[in-house]
Amino acid sequence: MRQMTEPTEPNPVRSGFRAGLVLAVALLPLLASCTSFLGPGSTIKPAPAEPAPLDRSPDDNEDDAIGAREHPRIIASYGGIYSDRPAEIMLARIVGRLLAAANQPNQKFTVTILDTAEVNAFALPGGYVYVTRGLLALASDTSEIGAVLAHEIAHVTLKHARARTNRARTNEIVDKVVSGVFGGTLDADQQARSKLSMAAFSQQQELAADKEGIMTSGRAGYDPHAAARFLGAMGRFARFSAGDAGQQDDFLSSHPSTPDRIQKAIETARAFFGAPGLGETDRVGYMAGIDGMAFGDSPAQGSIVGNRYINTALGFTFAVPAGYDLQISKGAVVGVAGEGEAVRFDSAEVPANMALDTYLKSGWIAGLQPTTVNSSSAGGVDMASGIALTPQWSFRVSVIRFGGRVYRFIFAAKFDSDSFGKAAADTVKSFRATTPRDNAQVRQLVVRTVTAGSLDTADSLARKMSSLTKGTDLFYILNNLYPGDPLTPGERYKIIALQ
């Protein structure tokens, strides 16, 4: 069983192909009706006492509308909401303190924990702030999470979230115009220029939010040096996770943990609050808040066991041929084989009375060859399959109706072949209801906290995670330690264990 596959060693060929596949799929558009096959959860909303009247502009109302529109999409694409009452209470208290320190006690903020192992935090217009349970697992005390939340609150109060939304909309319009004039798809140079432009724009925002966030967390009484400390921890985690496609869009992709940025954070904290050692960290309270939190793949999102995907909640499983590397990413299962093949599995909203072959021909996938579409049924499972062709890719697409839902397999290859067709067909044929034996293979990893004894060292506690792939390396990073480091007796440290 693959309990801890992330991170893998860097593989530029695989990562590069995956990026190309994502671009090709996005331009089709294959995901027009994509939904998550994960369940709902809950959010936390810090509720101040009597709100004072606020002077609101039309922009504020538009911000609310943007956030409310995008909120359910974010939840769906990141695997749903993670419900953990101790963690929710802890975050609500932190946010309340930060808003008071930012002189925004009556500002409406919705803080949501996303059920994903990715290390991520971001904000939307209208006061929507998101943190992942992966990020919560990486932090080691309350001041580090306070630094992240203060940074994201700063993006909202400084109107960065609106500016980023407007910039993205402008780029999208320009890309559509260029594509429409010249025909075909955007070339790699266009994509690179667009990304560089967005990165430069984002860097200015990030540095401004760093400074404002450090000021806010320091005024709230938290350790103002936590921002620099956590940026360093995230940089280590990013290097550890290099080559993992599931981490491509994580916090570090838009919040680069560069030495220069860390140094600026240190200088800001020193200039306004002095040397390290001042401010609350509340390591004890934080460790209690995350003890027992899920780590890695969540059973609610399904689990990967070898070359098999098992979803115990929805009661189905399937297997991909040897050579495919499966990952769970943003409400979908994706896999890559070698240099030129990939698969995506997700779900779609399809009316119960619509035949699957009709749905397949309904226009959601470009290049579909109607004469290739066929319907079949096996083991009480209805399905339809077809072939789609574009100048760059060949697609084998199948849709399956099971348990009242419709699921999609999208296989892509640079070049069509008998072996590619067989791999796609074998995967679809392997789709079936789970058995007790399947379910028994799924074990949940969780965060546990252990108290260091007088004879414990970082190395001795790291060995508690040696059964996981790269588990000892992960221990050092999760606790911001290095091999040979001494521990503080009586202090709690994080390990990852089976539930």
Helix, strand, or coil (residue 255): coil
Specify whether 268 is located in the same domain as 397: no
Same domain for 166 and 82? Answer: yes
The answer to whether residue 449 scores a pLDDT higher than 50 is yes
pLDDT band at 482 (very low <50, low <70, confident <90, very high): very high
Regarding whether 340 and 460 lie in a shared domain, the answer is no
Position 46 in a domain: no
* Residue 451 CB coordination number (10 Å): 12
Using DSSP's 3-state secondary structure scheme, residue 327 falls into strand
Q: Would 39 be classed as within a structural domain?
A: no
pLDDT at 31 over 60: no
- Of 241, 270, 291, the one marking the end of a domain is 291
User: Is 10 part of any domain?
Assistant: no
Residue 322 lies in a domain: yes
Cα(79)–Cα(297) distance, integer angstroms: 10
pLDDT confidence of residue 4: 34
pLDDT above 70: residue 3 = no
Mean pLDDT of the 405-409 span? 95
Element (H, E) at 269: helix 259-273
pTM across the whole model: 0.69
In a domain, 37, yes or no: no
- Report the chain's mean pLDDT, rounded to a whole number: 78
Answer with the residue of higher pLDDT: 326 or 396.
396
Q: Of the candidates 291, 315, 337, which is a domain's last residue?
A: 291
351 alpha carbon, distance to own chain's centre: 29
Tell me 346's DSSP state: E
pLDDT tens-digit profile of 181-221? 333 343 444 444 443 333 333 677 888 889 999 999 999 99
351 and 281, same domain (yes or no) = no
The enclosing domain of 486 has a CATH number of: 3.10.350.10
Average pLDDT estimate for 262-266? 93
Same domain flag for 139 and 216: yes
Q: Which residue, among 434, 494, 423, 432, has the nearest Cα to 458 in the 3D structure? A: 494
pLDDT computed for residue 58 by the predictor = 58
| 476 part of a folded domain | yes
386 CB-contact burial (10 Å; exposed 0-12 / middle 13-18 / buried 19+): buried
Q: What is the pLDDT of residue 57?
A: 56
Q: Could you tell me if 146 and 276 lie in one domain? A: yes
Phi, psi of 48 (to 5 degrees): -65, 170
**Which of 271, 291, 311 is the C-terminal boundary of a domain?**
291
**Domain assignment present for 266:** yes
Q: Are residues 285 and 309 in the same domain?
A: no
Looking at residue 207, its pLDDT comes to 87
Q: Report the share of the chain in percent with pLDDT over 90.
A: 47
Catalogue the E-assigned strands of 320-365: 324-329, 332-337, 341-348
Do residues 256 and 198 lie in contact, with contact meaning Cβ atoms separated by under 8 Å? no
Range of the domain at 329: 302-440
Does residue 476 share a domain with residue 430? no
Predicted local confidence at residue 74, as pLDDT:
86
pLDDT in tens, 98-119: 999 998 877 788 889 999 888 8
Least confident of 199-208, 255-264, 297-306, 316-325: 199-208
Q: How far is CA 267 from CA 14, 144, 224, 228, 371, in A?
A: 39, 17, 11, 9, 66
Mean pLDDT of all residues in 222-243: 88
Alpha-carbon distance of 343 to 48, in angstroms, equals: 47
222 and 208 co-located in one domain: yes
Do 211 and 344 reside in the same domain of the chain?
A: no
| Residue-wise pLDDT tens digits, 42-63 | 333 333 333 333 344 556 677 7
* pLDDT tens-digit series, residues 343-382: 999 999 999 999 999 999 998 888 999 999 999 987 778 9
What CATH number is given to the structural domain containing 314? 3.40.1000.10
In a domain? residue 271:
yes
Q: Is the same domain home to 218 and 239?
A: yes
- At residue 183, the pLDDT reads 33
Task: Looking at the structure, tell me whether residues 279 and 319 fall in a common domain.
Answer: no
Total number of domains in the chain: 3
- Tokens 């849709």 belong to which residue? 399
